[in-house]
Amino acid sequence: MRACQPLRFSKEEHEVIKVALDVLEEVCRRLESGQDVDADHLEKILEFIKVFADKCHHGKEEDVLFPAMEEAGVPREGGPIGVMLMEHDLGRGFVKELTEAVKAYMVEDENAIKKIVESARRYVNLLKDHIYKEDNILYPLAERILSSEKQSELLEKFEAIEYEKVGAGAHERFHALVHRLKEFHLPEVNFY
């Protein structure tokens, strides 16, 4: 069976998300060492996480990929789909905590740094593990069970979701944002 185009794009999105996670980890290191971090950078990272990683990327999975896999016989409960959904929700909880911590940081709350670091690290660890499972378990399973026709249909639906949920050009805007943040926080590292 040919390579699953929508899943290839999902894996490419994972690569950008992993760069953003590495930037977030560097921000945590800086905060822990007593360095100030531009609050605007924290807000931009949060925007990327909320819009690109969750609304767009996880939205495609939840609205299109997972239902297609269920139609093909993969149960929601007791299998990889249920685990992915649970982890999406867990990640949203960590992002909510991180959002509150960033707000506190912006008003110079003395406990904010500790809260940012804790929430961010929980999110980063969860998502890195989550991405590994999707790339190495869930997506290969989808490639095996979904026909070429279904894969083409998924790709069209992915594109529609991206346009409807985040708007035209948002994908490129978020890629550029992550690249700028990476250049500022991790200039010596080549990701892509």
Phi and psi at residue 150, to the nearest 5°? -65, -40
Q: What is the DSSP letter of 65?
A: I
Q: What is the mean pLDDT of the chain?
A: 92
Q: Does domain 5-185 have CATH number 1.20.120.520?
A: yes
Amino acid at 73: G
Per-residue pLDDT reduced to its tens digit, 49-62: 999 999 999 999 99
Task: Give mean pLDDT, residues 26-30.
Answer: 96
Report pTM: 0.92
With pLDDT > 70 as the criterion, what percentage of the chain qualifies?
A: 96
Per-residue pLDDT reduced to its tens digit, 51-101: 999 999 999 999 999 999 999 999 999 999 999 999 999 999 999 999 999
Q: What is the DSSP letter of 115?
A: H
**Which residue from 12, 11, 4 is spatially nearest to 147, judged by alpha carbons?**
4
Asked whether 113 and 104 are in contact (CB, 8 A), the reply is: no
Q: Which pLDDT band, with edges at 50, 70 and 90, does 4 fall under?
A: very low
pLDDT score recorded for residue 190: 66
